Every structure is written in C-alpha cells, then in structure tokens.
Amino acid sequence: MFDFLLLKKQTNPIMKQRTLFFALIFLVATAFVQTTPQIPDFKNSPMAINEDGSLKKLEKQNAELKTKAKGMGYGGVSTFINIDGKTSPVRVKATTDFILKVDAETDPETVFYISPAKEVGKTREIEMTRVSAFAAYGAKTKSVKKDDIPMEFVKIQDGVYRIKCTGLTPGTEYAFVNATQGASGSSSTVFCFGVD
C-alpha cells in the first residue's frame, strides 16, 4: 500500500508535465491554423482575410470608364471609373490584410492597385487620369497616383500573395483596380470595400 502511494506521488508530476506539453502543442497548432489564410479558388479576384484565416469576397463591379471635361474643357479633362452605389456592402477594418492569386509567372504589383473612391451623388468615382487643357503647350499633367494605397506583397506559395496595406482610413471607400483593364477599355472590373 505504501509503495503504491509512493509510486502515485512520483508519477503525478510526470503526468502533469505531459498534459501541459500536449496542451501547449494543441494551442500552438490551433493558433497556426487560425492565422494561415485559405487559398482563393480563382485568379485575379482579391479577397479580404478574416481574423480566423477564412476569406471574405469583395464587392465585384463591372464599372464604366467615363471622361469628364471641366469648364467646357478649359479646366482640363479627367478619366475616371464610375461605380454604382454610394458605399460598398463589404466592410473591413483598417488593419485587414488581403490575398491575391495570380499566374505563377506574374508580378502581382503590376496587376492591381488600391485607390480611394469618392462619393459623387449616388455613385463612387476613382480618377484614373487628369490632363491639363494646355498639355499641348507644355503644361504638366497632374498625377492621380498619389492617393493610391501602398501595398506590400508577401508570397504564401507560387502565385499566391498576402497583401498588407498601409494608409487605409476608416470611413473611406476603396477599390482594387485592375491596371491592365483600366487602361485599355470602356469598362473595368473593380473589387470594392469600405473601411469602418
């Protein structure tokens, strides 16, 4: 009887250490699973990453490219993307990361950029270009890229990148703009979201 109690006292600390060890492994594994984002099914469709690693679709819009002349053309001409609705139904935090899947050989920095969308009536607008009326006489064209959001691309695997943004402001509407589509046609596919 005495020997049994002595053995029980000696094994208790070992059992506690083992239990603590396995509990620690379980917690680390759980944390790793929750922070590793899923991989998108489709290419060229940026998505937001939720805190648990799941993905949230952004508002996909087939937006029109329009041209607007200011002061009958004397104030210059702007080309912009016009998006239906004043705000996006997709809301994220300013600290949200995004994920993008592209062809393995593609540089993701040349495909998309994030730009703020200004509310104009019942729509949102993203200015693409602004040309002075006196550009033909040497006047400089004003840059509209200064408002674009800086992005850092972190490779997860071939063709899949986590996008970390700096400068997203609460209360502002944004859109991922496909640079190649925006430059070449009368419409552009944009992926919109708002920051709360």
Give the other-Cβ count within 10 Å of 14's Cβ.
Answer: 9
pLDDT value of position 145: 66
- 67 and 101 within one domain: yes
Whether residues 160 and 74 fall in one domain: yes
Q: How far is CA 145 from CA 73, 113, 169, in A?
A: 22, 10, 17
Whether residues 113 and 16 share a domain: the answer is no
Query: How many residues are given for the chain?
Result: 196
Once rounded to an integer, what is the mean pLDDT over residues 130-144? 57
Q: Is 135 helix (H, G, I), strand (E, B) or coil?
A: helix
Strand partners, 60: 191
Q: Do 93 and 157 share a domain, yes or no?
A: yes
In the chain, the number of structural domains is 2
Whether residues 18 and 94 share a domain: the answer is: no
pLDDT of residue 33: 45
- pLDDT tens per residue, range 15-45: 666 666 655 565 544 444 445 679 999 999 9
Whole-prediction pTM: 0.74
Residues 18 and 96 placed together within one structural domain of the fold: no
| pLDDT tier at 4, thresholds 50, 70, 90 | very low
Clarify whether residues 74 and 10 are in a common domain: no
Same domain, 149 and 120: yes
Between CA 50 and CA 46 the distance in angstroms is: 13
Q: Cα(first)–Cα(last) distance of the chain, in Å?
A: 67
78 lies in the same domain as 125: yes
Domain of 190 in residue numbering reads as: 41-195
d(CA 143, CA 25): 52
Instruction: Dump pLDDT digits (tens) for 98-123.
Output: 999 999 899 999 999 999 999 999 99
Q: What pLDDT score was predicted for residue 194?
A: 98
Report angle CA 156, 158, 164 to the nearest 5 degrees. Answer: 35
